């Protein structure tokens, strides 16, 4: 069974009696305000259900996105987020994450090792320090001081995959569901406030020290409570070069729908970069609860949850001619 189909079935099982359907038409969905949560990829279904527990009880979007992505960070069965993530070429699992609230406050960690929940460390950075980002040993030191436990993130499954990769050491970052799945989550709560979170173990077998877009405010994640929020997945370098999520939000400010804004951000990348061997997907939500996504190649989907139930929506793509 293909990994994509397996995860979809698992997600369908995990949400019990709530509505679950796969949406293969337009990658946009109309909303009627909050609460609503959307997140990248198939495993977003599972993450959204955790977030929905908070949102449906009139909780804050900030709490919802943190708790939602923590579910995936702790899930060893995936190979791209938190514990169990595939390591860099030297065998180290290094994590990146950021979080942003409705006031514009943000926290981030990058090149963090040995901590299962980088998203919660990022929130501590936002709330307890005068900084936005901590990295490497400094981020680890801060996490330990805040009571986080040190854990070996390299699981037997990931170690086996890394050793097999070392036999050829071919570094060709073709990114889609087979290689790399950042989870980005954006939410609108019942009070009308937006927040977002983004967390990943980064590109498999990357150079030691590499950091992608996921912990960078305005690249992997951006929230403007007057307009909307956006998150990104795929080749981080391409998103970094275009300040992708900031661009998406600014396009929504100019009147574009979430899908239209995501499409324009993808076109900016596709027109200037050789996109044949990498995937980029953008996901956005506006203040009215409308969501939309767009990607370079077919295969990117996002999960959406509101009071009507749960959906898995396939994004339109540039190379797939919409």
From CA 191, how far away is CA 203, in angstroms rounded?
36
216's tokens: 């960078």
Which among 168, 202, 200, 167 has a CA at the least distance from the CA of 184? 200
How big, in percent rounded to 5, are the helix, strand and coil portions of the chain? Answer: 30, 25, 45
From CA 87, how far away is CA 53, in angstroms rounded?
32
CA dihedral 71, 213, 156, 75 (to 10 degrees): 10
Which among 195, 219, 214, 261 has a CA at the least distance from the CA of 28? 261
From CA 314, how far away is CA 306, in angstroms rounded?
17
- Residue 17 is a catalytic residue: no
Alpha-helix residue ranges (DSSP H) falling in the chain? 3-14, 44-55, 61-73, 118-128, 136-145, 156-166, 236-240, 244-253, 258-272
From CA 196, how far away is CA 215, in angstroms rounded?
12
**What counts of helices (H) and strands (E) characterise the chain?**
9, 15
User: Which residue of the set 40, 94, 182, 231 is catalytic?
Assistant: 182
129's tokens: 């320090």
The helix/strand/coil state of 17 is coil
Write the DSSP symbol of residue 137. Answer: H
User: Between β-strands 133-135 and 106-112, what pairing exists: parallel, antiparallel or unpaired?
Assistant: parallel
Which among 78, 84, 76 has a CA at the least distance from the CA of 154? 84
Active site residues: 182
């Amino acid at each position: 069974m293909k990994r994509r189909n397996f995860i979809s079935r698992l997600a369908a099982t995990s949400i019990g009696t709530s509505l679950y359907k796969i949406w293969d038409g337009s990658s946009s969905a109309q909303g009627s305000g909050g609460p609503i949560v959307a997140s990248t990829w198939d495993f977003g279904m599972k993450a959204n259900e955790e977030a929905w527990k908070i949102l449906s009880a009139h909780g804050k979007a900030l709490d919802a996105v943190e708790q939602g992505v923590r579910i995936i960070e702790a899930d060893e069965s995936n190979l791209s987020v938190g514990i169990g993530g595939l390591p860099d070429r030297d065998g180290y699992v290094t994590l990146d994450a950021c979080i942003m609230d409705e006031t514009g406050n943000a926290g981030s960690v990058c090149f963090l090792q040995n901590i299962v929940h980088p998203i919660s460390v990022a929130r501590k950075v936002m709330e307890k320090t005068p900084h936005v980002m901590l990295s490497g040993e400094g981020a680890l030191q801060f996490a330990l001081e805040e009571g986080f436990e040190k854990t070996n993130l390299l699981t037997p499954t990931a170690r086996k995959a890394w050793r097999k990769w070392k036999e050829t050491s071919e570094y060709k970052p073709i990114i889609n569901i087979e290689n790399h799945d950042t989870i980005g989550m954006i939410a609108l709560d019942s009070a009308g406030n937006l927040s977002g979170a983004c967390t990943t173990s980064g590109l498999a077998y990357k150079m030691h020290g590499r950091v992608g877009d996921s912990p960078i405010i305005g690249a992997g994640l951006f929230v403007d409570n007057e307009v909307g929020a956006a998150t990104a997945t795929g080749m981080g370098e391409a998103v970094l070069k275009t300040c992708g999520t900031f661009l998406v939000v600014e396009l929504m400010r100019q009147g574009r729908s979430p899908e239209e804004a995501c499409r324009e951000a993808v076109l900016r990348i596709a027109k200037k970069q050789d996109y044949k061997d990498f995937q980029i997907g953008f996901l956005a939500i506006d203040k009215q609860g409308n969501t939309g996504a767009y990607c370079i190649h077919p295969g990117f989907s996002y999960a959406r949850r509101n009071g009507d139930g749960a959906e898995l929506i396939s994004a339109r793509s540039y190379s797939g001619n919409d």
